[in-house]
Amino acid sequence: MALVINNENARLQHRHAFLSHDLAGITAIIAAAAVGYFAFPDNLALLTRMITIALLVLSLDLVTGYCGVATLGHAALFGSGAYAAGILSAHYGINDPLLMMLAGIAAGALAGLLSGAIILRAYGLPQLVLSIALIHLFHEFANKASSWTGGSDGLSGIAPDPVFGLFEFDLYGQTAFFFGMALLLVVFVLLRLLVRSPFGMLCRAVKQDPLRIRAMGGSPKAALIRMYAISGAVAGVGGALNATSTQVVGLDSLSFTQSAEALVMLVLGGAGSLFGALSGTVIFMLFEDTVSAANPFHWLTMVGALLIAVVLFAPKGLYGTAATFIARRRKERS
């Protein structure tokens, strides 16, 4: 009886620690958004762009950080969501931002299912090759379907209605910023629940030992495809938000460069951690914006130096290394 009580108390303490960590993290996200809003009142477009890319990096973290799937083609899911939302508005006149988000979610999830079904037929380096091939195929398809996508000229004519009929998308970007922050917080909370759910634990187990999962009667491939679809839905939200906030969709949303930069941001913050994905996005984009303004000709050198330093001295990423260091210090004190 005492053992059962002790186990229950330990479980409650563990849950309370997770809840406290989540609340502290969400508070930090809101605080960072408030600081950004007051620090960059004339550049809210940059902050909104950070939110859209953060959603892409979060989606990449689901399949790469938590499932161990190697991919350099995740922008295909992001671009699918962007074009779905843009086509809904430009060609069908459906301009409700929430419906545009739903279209982005559906297109991203469908692209995720397709990509997952193809990429997961291989493992390791062949996965990277398949993902690169897919991003180029998506890019070329969007380029050729110019009657729908605008081709190399981009898809214009996107005119989102006011959010809930009250908040118009103004030139200053305030509505887009707050709308994006609301979406990011909702997605982040849902993903925190997902990665701690039995399904999330299953995906982590597949990453560590897929053979054992098969021996226990599970299907690693089925779990990974489901996670790929969820990841696509998250990336689709980011793409739809990008289309709604900028009111144009270009082929760059389906570029290999976009995929590679998302992976760099994930490594910079720390793979396998949602907070790491967010922090990596913010640090990379702020650093990139600052150094490119300070030195327009050689800013890539400074970005490269930062990445080399992080990989060599903080292999778990900036957030991952800091979290490990803090946990070790707490353990030593106790």
In this predicted structure, what is the pLDDT of residue 188?
A: 95
Query: Which residues face 155 on adjacent strands?
Result: 249
Q: What are phi and psi of 170, to 5 degrees?
A: -90, 175
Q: Which residues contact 178 (CB under 8 A, 6 or more apart)?
A: 167
CA–CA separation, 185 and 26 (whole Å): 8
Q: What is the pTM of this model?
A: 0.93
Residue 254 banded pLDDT, cuts 50, 70, 90? very high
Q: Which two tokens stand for residue 163?
A: 């959010």
To the nearest whole percent, how much of the chain has pLDDT over 70?
Answer: 93
Confidence of residue 213 (pLDDT cuts 50, 70, 90): confident
**Mean pLDDT, residues 106-135 taken together:** 93
pLDDT at 242 > cutoff 60: yes
The C-alpha atoms of residue 278 and residue 288 are separated, in whole angstroms, by 15
The confidence score (pLDDT) of residue 4 equals 46
| Residue of 186, 218, 214 lying closest to 199 (CA atoms) | 218
pLDDT in tens, 269-294: 999 889 999 999 999 999 998 888 88
Spell out the long-range contacts of 309-312 with Cβ–Cβ below 8 A and sequence spacing 24 or more.
310/267, 310/268, 311/267
pLDDT reading at 32 higher than 50: yes
Does the pLDDT at position 24 exceed 80? no
Q: Residues 261-275: pLDDT tens digits?
A: 999 999 999 998 899
Domain range annotation of the chain: 10-333
How distant is the alpha carbon of residue 101 from its chain centre? 15
Average pLDDT over residues 115-138: 92
CATH number, domain 10-333 = 1.10.3470
Residue 257 burial (CB count, 10 A): 10
Averaged pLDDT for residues 51-65: 96
pLDDT band at 12 (very low <50, low <70, confident <90, very high): low
